[in-house]
Amino acid sequence: MNLELSEEQAAVRQLAKDFVGREVTPHVVEWDRAESVDRGIVRKLGAVGFLGLTIPEEYGGSGGDHLSYCLVTEELGRGDSSVRGIVSVSLGLVAKTVAHWGDEEQKRRWLPGLTSGDLIGCFGLTEPGTGSDAGNLTTRAVREGGGDYVINGAKMFITNGTWADVVLVFARSTDAPGHKGVSAFLVPTDTPGLSRRPIHGKLGLRGQATAELTFEDVRVPASAMLGREGKGFSVAMSALAKGRMSVAAGCVGIAQAALDSALRYAGEREQFGKSIAQHQLIQELITDISVDVDAARLLTWRVADLIDRGEPFVTESSKAKLFASEAAVRAANNALQVFGGYGYIDEYPAGKLLRDARVMTLYEGTSQIQKLVIGRALTGVSAF
């Protein structure tokens, strides 16, 4: 693995840093308090190519490799994880999945809009009663007379849910047991019978548009199916394997923001006649953050390198997501300790970083699920 960035990768990283400084950082506190990111950020993300990374140019994408994607995701996570989530889901879970599993008509229909920011995608897997147990989801898609499918059910905690133009929804379409009966569908969100309820009062990612989706006799043509019937679980798991790399990169960004803010504050704050940066116990807290940042970044970059070389990466992606998400929580918590009482005021970044980091250990596979994935891979024990 080459740890030296190419000129192109370094330029992408700098572009992302400049974008975050210009379009994100000035608004973070406002968006967090309002529980809503300015929706205009989506087209701005599309205009600079961030919503098209790794997608072929023939479908409107901006190309590039997965390490470049990680660099952008890290910078967005450093600025505001709510903005990072827009890209991780609309591009990482939806557009990339369409690019991999879709037929030519599906690619032509959805990818140009998703990569430009004219359209937004969301990923409809989690249900009110089935989170980690995704193979036993209860949303159903029943085919009528060999024609349309009619979808009924509900999805919960769906990122981009109230903003999305298309939902990649997973539903049980056959009587096969467990995950074998699940299929994937691309459903426009203006389809009759599909309703969306925003979820407010979240601990973290408050600016992110999170929703509950309800499907009541939602009718879609057979051409809406993504991949083959009964292969929806494979579609979902392949999306999440790469998605976990994206979450890990966002967590590196959170941890980096914790390090940056702790260093800055420690150099400015004085106690006992000197800056607190000169106190050894403060140095210990900052050192722990720095080590976590470096370790999480290297684990994440390894996943990107494996994907770009066409090597197996699923277990490594789970390792990166597990470590980086837990590291982000530790880093943000240590930063809050450096800030002391000021860390509890939202004018300072430590509190928001901790709130945003905590959910990273839950979504796209909890830390416990990642341990199961890794443990089964190491021991050779089948999940089913």
Asked if residue 2 belongs to a domain, the reply is no
Predicted pLDDT at 1: 60
Contacts of 310 (CB under 8 A, 6+ apart): none
Distance set, CA 10 to CA 63, 298, 316 (Å):
15, 16, 24
For the residues 210-232, what does the mean pLDDT come to? 97
Residue 139: CB partners within 8 Å, gap ≥ 6?
124, 127, 151, 152, 153, 154, 155, 169, 170, 171, 172, 215
State how far the alpha carbon of 48 is from the alpha carbons of 45, 59, 122, 130, 368, in Å. 6, 16, 21, 37, 36
pLDDT digits (tens, 9 = 90+) for 50-61: 999 999 999 999
Burial class of residue 1, CB neighbours in 10 A (0-12, 13-18, 19+): exposed
pLDDT band at 383 (very low <50, low <70, confident <90, very high): low
Kind plus residue range of the DSSP H or E element containing 101: helix 96-101
Q: Does the pLDDT of residue 3 top 90, yes or no? A: no
Q: What is the C-alpha separation between 201 and 374, in angstroms, rounded? A: 33
Answer yes or no: do 53 and 81 share one domain. Answer: yes
What whole-number distance in Å separates Cα of residue 177 and Cα of residue 293? Answer: 42
* Measured distance CA(330)–CA(291) in Å, rounded: 11
The answer to whether residues 337 and 310 belong to one domain is yes
Q: Are residues 357 and 238 in the same domain?
A: yes
Query: What's the confidence (pLDDT) of residue 58?
Result: 96
pLDDT of residue 373: 93
Evaluate whether residue 112 is within a structural domain: yes
Q: What is the CATH number of the domain that holds 254?
A: 1.20.140.10
Catalytic residue selected from 74, 212, 326, 364: 364
Lowest mean pLDDT among 132-141, 218-227, 230-239, 342-351: 132-141
Q: Which of 213, 230, 247 is the last residue of a domain?
A: 230
C-alpha 362/C-alpha 354 separation (Å) is: 14
Distance CA 80, CA 22 (A): 12
pLDDT band at 179 (very low <50, low <70, confident <90, very high): confident
Q: Is the pLDDT of residue 381 over 90?
A: no
Is residue 384 assigned to a domain?
no
pTM of the model: 0.95
What phi and psi, each to the nearest 5 degrees, are found at residue 88? -60, -35
pLDDT interval class at 11 (50, 70, 90): very high
Phi, psi angles (nearest 5°) of residue 217: 55, 50
Residue span of the structural domain in which 39 resides: 7-120
**Residue 351, domain member (yes or no):** yes
Q: Is 148 inside any structural domain?
A: yes
In a shared domain, residues 115 and 143: no
Cα–Cα distance for residue pair 293/297, rounded to 1 Å: 6
158 close to 364: Cβ distance less than 8 angstroms: no
* 16 and 29 together in one domain: yes
Q: Clarify whether residues 263 and 366 are in a common domain.
A: yes
Question: Do 240 and 372 fall within a single domain?
Answer: yes
Residue 219 in tokens: 């009718």
In terms of domains, do 239 and 340 share one? yes
pLDDT confidence band for 176 (50 / 70 / 90): confident
- 335 and 280 together in one domain: yes
Record the tokens describing residue 234, joined without a space. 């494979």
Report pLDDT digits (tens) over 117-153. 999 999 999 999 887 777 889 999 999 987 899 999 9
pLDDT band at 2 (very low <50, low <70, confident <90, very high): low
Domain boundary among 178, 206, 230: 230
How many other C-beta atoms are found inside a 10 Å radius of the C-beta of residue 376? 14
Helix (H, G, I), strand (E, B) or coil at 250: helix
Q: Check residue 97 and give its pLDDT.
A: 98
Q: Are 117 and 43 in contact (CB under 8 A)?
A: yes
Residue 58 appears among annotated catalytic residues? no
Pair of tokens at residue 138: 């209860």
Domain match, 79 and 145 both: no
Is 288 within a domain?
A: yes
Q: At what angle do helices 66-79 and 232-268 cross, to 10 degrees?
A: 50
Co-location of 221 and 267 in the same domain? no
Q: Are residues 84 and 44 in the same domain?
A: yes
State percent of the chain over pLDDT 90.
91
What pLDDT score was predicted for residue 136? 86
Locate tokens 């989506």: which residue?
A: 42
Q: What is the mean pLDDT of residues 27-48?
A: 97
Q: How confident is the model at residue 93 (pLDDT cuts 50, 70, 90)?
A: very high
Q: What angle do CA 76, 242, 58 make, to 5 degrees?
A: 80
Q: In this model, does residue 384 exceed pLDDT 60?
A: no
What amino acid is encoded at 236 in this protein? A
CA distance 96 to 245: 13
| CATH code of the domain containing 135 | 2.40.110.10
pLDDT at 178: 79
C-alpha–C-alpha distance, residues 288 and 285, integer Å: 5
* Secondary structure (DSSP) of 283-335: HHHHHHHHHHHHHHHHHHHHHHHHHHTT---HHHHHHHHHHHHHHHHHHHHHH
1 within a domain of the structure (yes/no) = no
Domain with residue 22: its CATH number is: 1.10.540.10
Domain boundary among 87, 120, 153: 120
> Mutual orientation of helices 66-79 and 7-19 as an angle, nearest 10°?
20
Domain total in the chain? 3
Q: Strand, helix or coil at 35? A: coil
Q: What is the mean pLDDT of residues 286-309?
A: 97
Instruction: Decide which of 364 and 239 is more confident.
Output: 239
For 145, other C-beta atoms within 10 Å of its C-beta total 5
